Amino acid sequence: MLKKRPPLLLGTPLAFIAWPLIMNFFYRALCRLAWLALLTGASVHAADTPRQIITKAILAESDDARIATIGSLVGQGDESIKILLAAWKEDALFVYTAPDGTRTPVQLTGEKDAKEAQEAWRVDDGQPLKDAGGQPSRLVGSALTAVEHDSNLRRAMKAVLDLLDLSTTDLEKRVRAIQTIGFAQNPDKIAALEARSKLETAPKAKLALREALALIALKDQSDDVKIAALVELKELHTISSTDFLKATIASPEAAANPKLAQAARSALSAVDNHISWVNFFGTIFRGLSLGSILLVVALGLAITFGLMGVINMAHGEMIAVGAYTTYVVQNIFGTGLALSPFGMSISFPGFHATGWAYESYFIFALPLSFLTAAIAGIAMERTVIQWLYRRPLESLLATWGVSLVLQQFFRRVFGSNNVQVSSPSYLSDNWTFNDIIFGWNRVFVIGFAIAIVFGVWLVLTRTSLGLLIRAVMQNRNMASCMGVRTERVNMLTFGLGSGLAGLAGAFLSQIGNVGPSLGQNYIVDCFMTVVVGGVGNLPGTVVSAFGIGLADQSLQQILLNPVLGKITVLIAIILFLQWRPAGIFVTKSRSLEG
């Protein structure tokens, strides 16, 4: 211990405290100087404005030169940097080659006119690009070459934007910028962070600043500073500090100083505690969302199987019909679609919509998916199923045949590859609360499930169709005697069930594959959900879907293995059905065979 102390200013407790303070003072003074130098960096390159530097970067010959030029922007505070770099990333920067051969980088903005042309602004001075006659010219983006970028370049841009982002008004970005600085544990940045701390008002950014400062302090020479930082980190218990805490525990300093090791360990256990809570609530949310998916895919089956007694093995293909409908609608909103099934060629013209108009395709796809799948279901009911109402096992076999035929049909029409369905931006972001991720698609599916369960409940209990459906399902012969056209009701009920499967397909296209075998991935789960819930019982299906979803996700979390989780759930279901053969909620019946 003693040997390690520096030879000067030793021996007295005063010195013991003073040394780090003095060092710290020098440190910060130096950092402030560096920061000032950075801030005034622009004046060093007085000749080049940020716009000119970016122009140089665009015209640079090699990737390396480009990255170096962009790197020289670090520390510049001009608003134009952000705009131009963002435009670059979004492929909105182009190189315009004038008739005389001079190459001018331009930014294209504004609405496209009839000829697809847009306003062109020069990158180097921010002025409109003028043609030979001095008039502002409009250019067509697709006729020019977009300026390329790759991840290395984007990373260089990010470094530039990071410091810029410390003062950005976008909270998320600001937090990310602060974290990046913190994780780098570079003491040079302390001054910048502290300057920001004084101005910062957003609680999230304040926390990030505290974490970043504490992380940087872990690199400090003095154990006391480190311990103080560890106390701070314990209070913050951020997941991102885990690695740094582990590194501290494993460091030789901690081995030498039990107090430090103790502080690090207690900080780590606080973090671990936090993580276990995050996992707990995260698992519940994920379970609810998986349950919602099961509910959405199984609800249609709960009607065709539960109410009508038809074992529809082609239910999965009805889901696929919905998903493919979404695909077609998406392409019609976009650039159109050409299909060549069985040697014919069919082409749908597209609306060429962009932005929000394009992304609204999903809203239109939902009812259309319902309709197409319902029509497909009704066609299937008329041709195959109506002959099999009294023979459930045979309906299983015939519909399996239908499912094989449909799968191959999808292959012939849409190709055997999966097709691309892109999620609209309002479904592909997330909301993070206390480190628990709430994906918007997941939140949406929960809401969606609630909505369609409510809708089905309304249809079944509040409409005359629902009344007829229930009557026919309870006693087909009696209903028929009372003058109900049972054939028609059967047809419509099957249509409703299939339509719900189509809706499920539209939704699944947002979170998974759209391909010929899409339905196969869900069919076993669908049947399980309905059987566990109790056949013919919608509330049972709801309970069982959420139950299976939660069980699956928690087992995955506990067993750390997705397959084992699934197998355990299957075994549990089989055992559960020994105990309650008729499912969670038994539909009471006096019939012997019921």
Partner 1 sequence: MSAPASTRRIEIIAVAIAAILVIVVLPLLNAHGFISNFTINLWGKYLCFALLAISVDLLWGYTGLLSLGQAMFFSIGGYMLGMHLMLMIGELGVYAQAGKNPLGLPDFMVFLGHTFLPAFWRPFYSFGFSALMVLLLPGVIALVFGFLAFRSRIKGVYFSILTQALTYGGSLMFFRNDMLMGGNNGFTDFKLLLGGDLRNAVPQRNLFIASAVALLLVYVGCRLLNHTKFGLVQRAIRDGENRVLFSGYAAASFKLFIFVLSALIASVGGALYVPQVGGINPSVMTPEKSLEAVVWVAVGGRGTLVGPIIGAISVNALRSWATRSIPDLWPFLLGGMFIIVVLFLPGGLISLPGRVSGWWKRRTAVVAVESAEKPAVVTTTP
Partner 2 sequence: MINKITKILSVGAVALAASFGSARAADTVKVGVLHSLSGTMAISEVSLRDILLFTADEINAKGGVMGKKIELVIVDGASDWPTFAEKAKQLTEQDKVAVTFGCWTSVSRKYVLPVLEKNNALLFYPVQYEGEEESQNVFYTAEAVNQQATPAVDYLLKQGYTKFYLLGTDYVYPQTTNLVLLEYLLSKKVPLANIGGGFKKDDKGVITNAGKYTPFSHTDYQQIIAEIKQFSAGGKTAVISTLNGDTNVPFFKEYAAAGLTAETVPVVSFSISEDEFRGLPAKQLVGQLGSWTYFQSVPGKANADFVANFKKWLPTSPAGVVKEGRVTCSPMVLSYEGMYLWKAAVEKAGSFEVDKVRAALKSGLSFEGPGGKVTSQPNMHMTKTVYIGETKADGQFKILSTIPNVVGEPWLKGKFK
Would you tell me which residues interact with partner 1 (CB under 8 A)? 311, 313, 384, 387-388, 392-394, 396-398, 400-405, 407-409, 412, 524, 527-528, 531, 563-564, 566-567, 570-571, 573-575, 577-579, 581, 592-593
Q: Determine the interface stretch with partner 2 among 227-235, 392-400, 408-416, 488-496 (rule: CB under 8 A).
A: 408-416
433 contacts which partner out of partner 2, partner 1, none, CB within 5 to 8 A by kind?
none
CB of 420 to partner 2, least distance (A): 6
Nearest by Cα to 515 from 373, 442, 419: 419
Distance set, CA 344 to CA 158, 340, 408, 413 (Å): 50, 5, 16, 10
CB of 320 to partner 1, least distance (A): 14
Q: How many CB atoms lie within 10 A of CB 38?
A: 17
Whole-angstrom distance, CA of residue 363 vs CA of residue 358? 10
Q: Determine the interface stretch with partner 2 among 315-323, 538-546, 555-563, 582-590 (rule: CB under 8 A).
A: 555-563
Binding mask 174-203 toward partner 2 (x if CB under 8 A, else -) reads ---------x--------------------
Among 107, 118, 248, 289, binds partner 2 (CB under 8 A): 289
Whole-angstrom distance, CA of residue 536 vs CA of residue 527? 12
Whole-angstrom distance, CA of residue 348 vs CA of residue 413? 14
CB of 541 to partner 2, least distance (A): 19
Tokens of 110: 């504004």
CB of 562 to partner 2, least distance (A): 5
Of the CA atoms within 13 Å of residue 212, those in its CB half-sphere come to 29
CB-wise, 217 or 479, nearer to partner 2?
Answer: 217
Among 109, 186, 432, 461, binds partner 2 (CB under 8 A): 432
Q: How many CB atoms lie within 10 A of CB 195?
A: 15
145 near partner 2, rule: CB under 8 A: no
Binding mask 220-259 toward partner 2 (x if CB under 8 A, else -) reads ------------------xxxxxxx-x-------------
CB of 585 to partner 2, least distance (A): 26
Nearest by Cα to 314 from 472, 460, 489, 518: 518
Q: How many CB atoms lie within 10 A of CB 209?
A: 24
Beta bridge partners of 140: 117
394 contacts which partner out of partner 2, partner 1, none, CB within 5 to 8 A by kind?
partner 1
- Which residues have C-beta within 8 Å of that of residue 475, sequence separation ≥ 6? none
411 near partner 2, rule: CB under 8 A: yes
Which amino acid is residue 275, in one-letter code?
I
343 near partner 2, rule: CB under 8 A: yes
Q: Is residue 300 a contact partner of residue 493, using CB atoms and an 8 Å limit?
A: no
CB of 519 to partner 2, least distance (A): 11
CB-wise, 95 or 570, nearer to partner 1?
Answer: 570
Whole-angstrom distance, CA of residue 133 vs CA of residue 111? 23
CB of 314 to partner 1, least distance (A): 10
CB-wise, 354 or 428, nearer to partner 2?
Answer: 428
CB of 86 to partner 2, least distance (A): 13
122 contacts which partner out of partner 1, partner 2, none, CB within 5 to 8 A by kind?
none
Among 141, 291, 316, 439, binds partner 2 (CB under 8 A): 439
Runs of H (alpha helix) within 431-561: 440-462, 464-474, 476-481, 486-511, 520-533, 538-559
CB of 219 to partner 1, least distance (A): 39
571 contacts which partner out of partner 2, partner 1, none, CB within 5 to 8 A by kind?
partner 1
440 contacts which partner out of partner 2, partner 1, none, CB within 5 to 8 A by kind?
partner 2
Radius of gyration over every alpha carbon of the chain, rounded to an integer in angstroms: 32
Whole-angstrom distance, CA of residue 584 vs CA of residue 7? 78
Whole-angstrom distance, CA of residue 523 vs CA of residue 498? 13
Whole-angstrom distance, CA of residue 491 vs CA of residue 386? 8
CB of 5 to partner 2, least distance (A): 31
104 near partner 2, rule: CB under 8 A: no
Size of the site for partner 2 (CB under 8 A): 66
CB-wise, 349 or 392, nearer to partner 1?
Answer: 392
Among 24, 167, 197, 279, binds partner 2 (CB under 8 A): 279
Q: Is residue 328 a contact partner of residue 346, using CB atoms and an 8 Å limit?
A: no
Nearest by Cα to 443 from 247, 591, 325, 292: 292
Which amino acid is residue 578, in one-letter code?
Q
Among 50, 105, 141, 282, binds partner 2 (CB under 8 A): 282
Q: Which of residues 505-534 bind partner 2 (CB under 8 A)?
A: 510-515, 517, 520-522
Q: Which residue has the tokens 């939660």?
A: 550
HEC letters along 415-434: CCCCECCCCCHHHCCEEEEC
Strands 145-146 and 93-97: antiparallel
CB of 364 to partner 2, least distance (A): 19
Which amino acid is residue 130, in one-letter code?
K
Whole-angstrom distance, CA of residue 412 vs CA of residue 395? 25
Whole-angstrom distance, CA of residue 581 vs CA of residue 592? 15
Strands 346-348 and 436-439: unpaired
563 near partner 2, rule: CB under 8 A: yes
Which residues bind to partner 2, rule: CB under 8 A? 148, 150-152, 154-155, 158, 183, 238-244, 246, 275, 278-279, 282-283, 286, 289-290, 338, 340, 343, 408, 411, 415-423, 427-430, 432, 437, 439-442, 510-515, 517, 520-522, 552-553, 556-557, 560-563
